[in-house]
Structure formats: structure tokens, C-alpha cells
Chain A
Amino acid sequence: MDVNMEARRILAVSISKLYASRAQRGGLRLHRSLLLSLVMRSARDIYHSSSRDSEPHSGPSPPEEPMDTTSSVEPERTVSEPQPTSPSAQAATEEPEAEYERGASGDKENLSPAKQSRKRRGKTSAAPDFLPSKRARLEPGEERYAACCRSGHPESLTSLSLNRVISAF
């Protein structure tokens, strides 16, 4: 459980760093964002394996998950912390990804955070549950984890944000 707590704490710290880096002068730093995401992934993996060991009901059936993950988007958005520049935690956590993509297309794109979040919402709601979507890039084990984490700690913002952050990376 200790490792579990540690992993959760690191995840929370990482997420706040990710949010803070958006306000940094000079824009989002790719190297730093990458390192943050790697730490989050390690913490998530540890948390996943220790959660699995400690929670007996951690085995929901696979067909349920796409539904769960998708529907978790809606409640999470309303629960999310007030962000000065972004309307939802979803958009905020995906900002580095958006930043990557913005960088990817060079100077041609001119996407504002608002536009980004609109784009993403459209994608997730448009894609039927049974079809592979951008969100479903997780390996089978990870999908299961996302759902069980959420079910285990329904009230925690950290775990809710966790889902989006995990799927964002």
C-alpha cells in the first residue's frame, strides 16, 4: 500500500507540474513534458500492479470498459478544477499532446486551447464505443486499470484526472 500511496502522490505532483508548465514563459518544454509523462507512466504502472494485488474486484469484463472510459469523460469535465485558460481538465491534460501536434504541423496550425478541446470532445463522442478510437490506444491491461482505478476511488480528482492523463500518453 505504501508503494501505492507513493505512486498516487507522484502522480498528483506530476499532474500539477504539467498544469504549471503550461503557464511557463517560453511555452511548453517538450523535454520536460516528456520526462513528466515518463514518471507518470512509471507511477501508473506501479500503482496498477499494486492496486491489482490489493483490490480483489479489479477484473471488470473487457466489453464494459470502452463504455466506462468514454462516459467518464463527461462527469470528469464538470468535476475538474477551475483552469484559467482551459475549460476542462481533459483539454488541460491533453495540452502537451496538443502542443506536440501543434509543433508537428509547424506553423501552419493555429489551434487555441478552446478549439483543441472542442475537437477532442467531438472525437470521443462521435466514435462509437466498439470501434477503436484515439483513446483506445491503451493496451488491454491499461484499459482495465483505468476502469478499476476509477471504480475504486470515485471521489478522487486525482484518479479521475489519472484516466485522462493515462490515455493522453
Chain B
Amino acid sequence: MAGPGADMQWCFSQVKGAIDDDVAEADIISTVEFNHTGELLATGDKGGRVVIFQQEIENKNLPQFRSEYNVYSTFQSHEPEFDYLKSLEIEEKINKIRWLPQKNAAQFLLSTNDKTIKLWKISERDKRPEGYNLKEEDGRYKDPNSITALRVPVLIPMDLMVEASPRRVFSNAHTYHINSISVNSDNETYLSADDLRINLWNLEITDRSFNIVDIKPTNMEELTEVITAAEFHPLHCNTLVYSSSKGTIRLCDMRESALCDKHSKLFEEPEDPSNRSFFSEIISSISDVKFSHNGRYMMTRDYLSVKVWDLNMENRPVETYQVHEYLRSKLCSLYENDCIFDKFECCWNGNDSVVMTGSYNNFFRMFERSQRRDVTLEASRENSKPLQVLKPRKVCAGGKRKKDEISVDSLDFNKKILHTAWHPQENIIAVATTNNLYIFQDKVN
């Protein structure tokens, strides 16, 4: 991979989605995920649809190599439902997509809304049989008396057709809203987490799941924290972590007991008392947790920062990166306009040297870990000429605003980047604005 993150020259590659400013609610992107090879990129939206893009791999040896992602498959994963018992509508919004490692010609992914997880099989069909003995070309059966010869159908090429079919539906296991799914490294099980419980499923079995974490208090009035995200360790099939609204992360070992209510490790950083405010609890709530690819670290995202934790050290993170510290003095306004509840995600690059997360005004940030360098970039239609290099952006927190800087008050809080993904092997990133998906790549020098 090319040099350190902040030294990379990020160029615009593609943008997917409607151009007009009037955003249809169903088109709001709610999740973005590369598969394990990076060849496929899946997005889910509020309308319950999944769109999969495939990387075109020709031209890889040309100096001006541009990876193009083109639509591969589109399907309706979830539909709105109604829970008659509770008189509640169940949103069709796709909360998370997770790919399964490829085992055969077909691709599999898990997609989930608030209540139901589905396993989808995406397969290609590029041949069709022709020359049936008993059937006409249009499928009608021939009159048996008219058949005088015997022939075997042959497979002839046809235009590529990509089919998505739901292979498993995992439902009725969550009372609260599902926020995470994570496939185990054993490729046989996966977890799903809601606000208070984490369930373990076998990919083959849909009619039962095991509850492995339950933090629901006997008396709901004593509720003080909820589960906000959960993930399996990428290498150790017995280990999982879950984050809470209180800013803590618990690591659990499934070998210890069937119900992992007792954590093996508790990661928590003491709060800085000088930063205490009305909104301290909200901003310390963790919105995302991700293990590094090598499994030695994990990263958490809270409202203002990204923290990298060493799994061997529980009392504080090894690195803390401020995403948009200039918002700390604006928390009251952000509470009023609901932005303080935004759940930003974060991601690692392929070799765990750079972390990335989104912000407002369609800005996103990259933090290069070893060099302690960071950069702010913007996903916008103005910077979308092919191979146009992205210029680093700067927000002026106060005082005199320099040229090219943006003042905090002119930031557009409706333009938020909540979902980003990094190709597992190459320097290609997918950044989702409200309803557009931007693909950027590192300029190959």
C-alpha cells in the first residue's frame, strides 16, 4: 500500500446516487460495507433496498488506474412491517450489512433492519439451457406424438444475470431495536445485538438463537445503560466486544459461561471532570466499535472523538483522536437540532495504520496513527471531476478565519457523513453522504 494515510493524495473516482438536492427519504444511505476481497461494495438504504457494486478489474496495470465500481445487483431486502401486538411500525431501513467470506461461486451477505436479519445469496447466471427434448423454446410442452428424435439440451451463453435470493430469515428474537450484526470467524455463527441483548445464531438455523448477553434490569426503571454496538473478534471465535451508552466496552469470552453477563475485560476511560456538562452522557455514548484487522486493537467512536484501545489495556485508550472538538461549545444547539444523537461509524484501513470517520458539512477525517497526522476531506459534487485531487479542508474554531477555512457557524449540519468504508486491501474508500455514495482512491504515483 502507498505511504502514510495523511500523505496520501485522495482523488475523486465516482459518485453514485441522485443529483438533485431534494432527497427522497427512502434513498438515504444507512450502511456501507466492502466484502472481504473488496471486489464488492454493498449499500443499504432507508427504503430497505440493498445495492451492490462490483469493481471492474481491467486496466489495473495502467498508470492512471481508476477502479470503477458499477452496479452489480439491486434488491429489496426488507419491507415495512407492522407489529400488531404492540401497534408499532417496524421500519424497513437497513441498519447493517455484513458479508460472509466467500466459499463457492455465490456471494452471501447478512442484512438487518430493526427486528429481522436475512441471509441473501447473490449468484450469477451467464448460461441458459437450450434444446429441450420435450419442451418448446417458450416452455410449452410438445405433443409427445410429434417427438421423433432424442436430443440433450446444451448450455449456451447469455447476458449476465445476477440474482439475489433470501436463503434464511432470522426473526422474532429481538424485543428491542437491532443495532449490530457480526459474523464469527468460524463462519458458522453470527451475533445480533439490540439495546439490551445479544443473540448468537447459527447461519443454518433460523428457528432458534442463544442469548449470550442480557443487560436488561429486572426493574426497567433502573435502566442506566444500553448496548450500542457489538462485534466478534476477527480471529478468536470465542471473543466478542460490546459497547455501551455509558462509554464503556466489555470484552466477553464465550468459553467462560453460556451467558456472558460477566465480562472478561471492561474498557473504560475516567471522565475528564473539566468537560462535564448537561450533555456529557450523550457525547460519551459509543456509536461504533470495530476491531482492527490484526485483532490486537479496537476502535470506538463517540460523538466527538475516536479512540483506539489496546485489548491488553483496560484503563485507558492508547490513542485518542479529536474529530470535531470545535463542536464541544455548541452541544446545546446540537441537542436542540437533534444532531447530538447522530451515530457516526468508523473504520480501519487494510493494514490498520489509518482510521477514518465522518463529520458534518460532508467532511470526513482520516487519522494516521504512527505519524500522528490527520486530514479533513470533503465529499461534494463540486470536487467531482475525474481524478480530481481532494484538497484538505480546515475548520476555524474561533478568532480570525483564514482564507479557505470554514467557520463553525457556516457548517451544514444536515450534511453528515455517518457511514464510511475502506477497501480491505487497497486505498479505495467509500463515503456515504445523505443519499450519495462517493468513491475515492489514492492517486498512484
Instruction: List A residues at the B interface (Cβ < 8 Å).
Output: 6-7, 10, 13, 17, 25-27, 29-32, 34-35, 38-39, 42-43, 46, 97, 100-104, 106-107, 110, 112, 137, 169
Contact = CB atoms under 8 A, between A and B. Distances in A.
26 contacts: A7-B278, A13-B336, A17-B338, A26-B93, A27-B86, A29-B177, A30-B196, A30-B226, A31-B195, A31-B226, A34-B224, A34-B245, A39-B279, A39-B281, A39-B282, A43-B278, A97-B221, A100-B221, A100-B223, A102-B86, A103-B220, A107-B86, A107-B175, A110-B85, A112-B87, A169-B221
Contacts of A112: 87
A34 B223 contact: yes
B124 interface: no
A32 B341 contact: yes
Contacts of A110: 85-86
Given A27-B89, A110-B86, A10 B220 contact: no
A109 to B, nearest CB: 9
Interface residues of B, number: 36
A10 B332 contact: yes
Contacts of B335: 10, 13, 39
Contacts of A107: 85-86, 175
A30 B335 CA distance: 17
| Most central of A30, A39, A42, A112 by chain B CB within 10 Å | A30
Contact of A106 (B91, B175, B341): B175
A38 B340 CA distance: 14
B19 interface: no
B216 interface: yes
B111 interface: no
Contacts of A7: 278
Interface of B: 83, 85-91, 93, 114, 175-177, 179, 195-196, 216, 220-221, 223-226, 228, 245, 278-282, 285, 332, 335-336, 338, 341
Contact of A97 (B175, B220, B282, B285): B220
Contacts of B196: 30
A29 to B, nearest CB: 6
B278 A35 contact: no
A6 B93 CA distance: 36
Contacts of A101: 220
Contact of B245 (A31, A42, A46): A31
B85 A26 contact: no
B221 A137 contact: yes
Contacts of A6: 278, 332
A25 B220 CA distance: 23
